[in-house]
Structure 1
Amino acid sequence: MILQNYLFTLLLLFACSVAGKHFRFDYDYNGYVGGWFKLHLIPATWHDAWLRCDLEGVSLARMPVKWAPGEPDNFNNGEDCIVLTNGTIADVNCSEIFPYMCFKKNTKDIIMTTCGTVDKEYKLESLTGNCYKFHRIGKPWKRAFMTCAAEGSYLAVINSPQEALLLKNIYDANHSKIRPGTSKDVINIGMHDWNEHGVWRTIHGLTIEEAGYADWAQGQPDNSSGQFCGAMFRNSKLDDFWCHASAPFICEKSLDSLLEL
């Protein structure tokens, strides 16, 4: 316990020492425009690109450009989105996929927290040495997974009964604030049966038994009408849940996940 507290203190001091000097190591700063850029090479539709940038806490890059010859032409009355090519822009169908760039303008209020992020909703917990954020707006499991990844974290993985209790306490503290229209009975967490129908693994690849926590609620998992995604009841017991159904979720991150060490 003494060693654990010592390591936790060192991590805390390290996180404080980098405050105010970074945004994210995967973004490059450009002094001419006064902000950070990130090029996403994996192509996406305009909507998915906008969503990914938004989840990273930034926006799709905007810049002064001119139209390519003959553009915009709104071909077949179906081109409502814009792409940059060879220094000029053209209108395209929003379902087409392209690489994209996200941008974050440098402002005076960008402060790196002890969690190694500018997102102040992540709170450091001494029990695990990791940070956690409760998302009150419910999302399907895959979208929750994407949201955590964009924030430099991951859907919370339970590694012990003590961590399960920690998540329960976070759940309890936010239960009354969950947005209407989403399930309040469970939260999405980082486990899935990967369509193996009963072989439950964490998003890190371990079985939940290997990870350290496999305490199912009574009668669970019951695979009711195809419940293949992992969730947790408010009493900290595990549940299998519909992947398409929206539920609140908790993201977990290490202190250095957005820092270049």
Structure 2
Amino acid sequence: MSLVLKNVSLFILLIINASYCQREKKFFRKDYHFLESVQNFYKIQTIPRSWQDAKQICEWEGSTFFYPEDEAEANAVLAYVKEAQGYNYFWIGVASLLAKGVFETIDGIPIMDVYNKWGPGEPNDTGGVEDCVVLMKEGNMNDDGCWKKQPYICKKTLASLEWNAACRMPYTDYKYNKDLGRCYNFHLSPKNWTEAFTICSSELSFLAVIESQTEADFLKQLTSLAPKDNIPGNYLRGCVHLGFHNRNGNGWRTIKGTPLENSGYSVWGGGQPDGGDLEQCGTMFYNGQLNDLACDRRCFFICEHDDVDTAGFDERFADTA
């Protein structure tokens, strides 16, 4: 077996072992609550969202859009919601988006095969626009307009929990760099700057901020090695979103609030920045130099996580590129 394959195998074993230990601790994230009776984690999302946005945010956090699988789970979650927030209703991951009146869960299970206690006369598709489902505090379901902004719940099963021991987080795509003492994730799904910022935050991280030439060199190498060349779609190639901007018109700053010139790295590409008010978000060219870009332009992005376990990490698995 080659050294590379051996290290890959050892890394997988490390993830499996760390994940098992984390399941024993019954910890996913600080903002998720574990319910012993159903052996799952739940997060009540208090900022109201449309049904589609709710589904997306749960996915970004590495969880799923909650729907009750049976009466026992419905009762457990409703009791938790009553105790924690007292909402009268909230979105659940059930809708009839593919065919009118054919309700399925987010993972394609027919509503008849899961919890399906509809309220009296429901679903009734009032006005022909009610395709998404809320769960009422009494335990009844009701169809409603998907565009409406409601609270919702994200769910993570204990069985699906994986753990990245080096990065002290449940996201195994992040790789630890021992020289920088931080973890990074190169995202291959192009997003605009605001979406990228939100996704990094959802992963308990932040859009990467370059604070030294060493870090710039590493991100340049990370970008070079990313399998990005054959990713289809309409997005800007040649640069990646990073954590700096001039969105307030007060000069370029990192997302930590530090003026870019004081951040430890401010090497702009030739002629940059050149976009003025039309390009107020920060990116890095593939060559490691900085560039300004319109915030709504889509491209790859890099998230950074700095709450790492440097003492307990096996350096055989560090990314030192």
Structure 1 residue 82 displacement after superposition: 0.7
**How has the CA–CA distance of structure 1 residues 252 and 97 changed in structure 2, closer, same or farther, with 3 Å as cutoff?**
same
Change (3 A) 1:186 1:26: same
Higher mean alpha-carbon deviation, 73-82 vs 99-108, is at 99-108
Cα RMSD over matched residues? 2.1
Q: Can you give the 5+ residue segments of structure 2 that lack an aligned partner in the other structure?
A: 1-17, 69-114, 310-321
**C-alpha spacing 1:238/1:18, structure 2 compared with 1 (3 Å):** farther
Q: Distance in 1 between matches of 2:37 and 2:229?
A: 42
Conservation of the 8 A alpha-carbon contact between 2:166 and 2:308: no
Distance of aligned partners of 1:36 and 1:178 in 2 relative to their CA distance in 1, 3 Å threshold:
farther
Structure 1 contact 186–234 (Cα < 8 Å) conserved:
yes
CA offset digits 1:93-117 (Å, max 9, x no partner): 1110011100011116633431112
Instruction: Report percent identity of matched pairs.
Output: 37
Select the structure of larger CA radius of gyration: 2
- In structure 1, the residue matched to 2:82 is none
Given the alignment, which residue of 230, 237, 241 partners 1:184? 237
Letter in 2 for 1:145: F
Q: 2:225 matched to 1:200?
A: no
1:209 counterpart SS class: helix
State how 1:14-163 maps to structure 2 within 5 Å: 19-20=21-22, 21=25, 22-63=27-68, 64-86=115-137, 87-107=139-159, 110-163=162-215
TM-score (norm 1): 0.86
Provide the TM-score with structure 2 as the length reference: 0.70
* Kept after mapping to 2: 8 A contact 1:131/1:254: yes
Give 5+ residue unaligned stretches, structure 1: 1-15
Deviation, 1:127, is: 2.3
Q: May I ask how many residue pairs the two structures share in their alignment?
A: 241
Q: Which runs of 4+ in 1 moved over 3 A?
A: 16-19, 175-178
Within the alignment, does 1:218 sit opposite 2:223 as a pair? no
- Rate the CA distance shift 1:112–1:185 in 2: closer, same or farther, 3 A: closer
Mapped contact 1:133–1:252 kept (Cα < 8 A):
yes
Select the structure that is richer in helix: 2
The aligned counterpart of 2:104 is none
Instruction: Give the aligned residue type for 2:31.
Output: D
